[in-house]
Amino acid sequence: MELNELERRMHAFVASKGWYEPTSPKPQTPRNLAASLAIEAAEVLEHFQWREEVRDPAELAGELADVALYLLQLASITGIDLEQAILAKLAVNHTREWPEP
- DSSP code per residue over 2-70: -HHHHHHHHHHHHHHTTTTSTT-SS---HHHHHHHHHHHHHHHHHTTTT-SS-S-HHHHHHHHHHHHHH
pTM: 0.90
* pLDDT (mean) for 66-85: 97
Backbone CA torsion sign across 63, 15, 1, 34: negative
Distances (CA, A) of 91 to 42, 68, 77: 28, 21, 24
Asked whether the predicted pLDDT for residue 17 surpasses 90, the reply is yes
Asked whether the predicted pLDDT for residue 98 surpasses 90, the reply is no
Which residue ranges form the domains of the chain, and what is each CATH number?
29-95 (1.10.287.1080)
Residues 6+ apart with CB under 8 A from 71: 37, 82
pLDDT of residue 99: 87
Specify whether the CB–CB gap between 71 and 37 falls below 8 A: yes
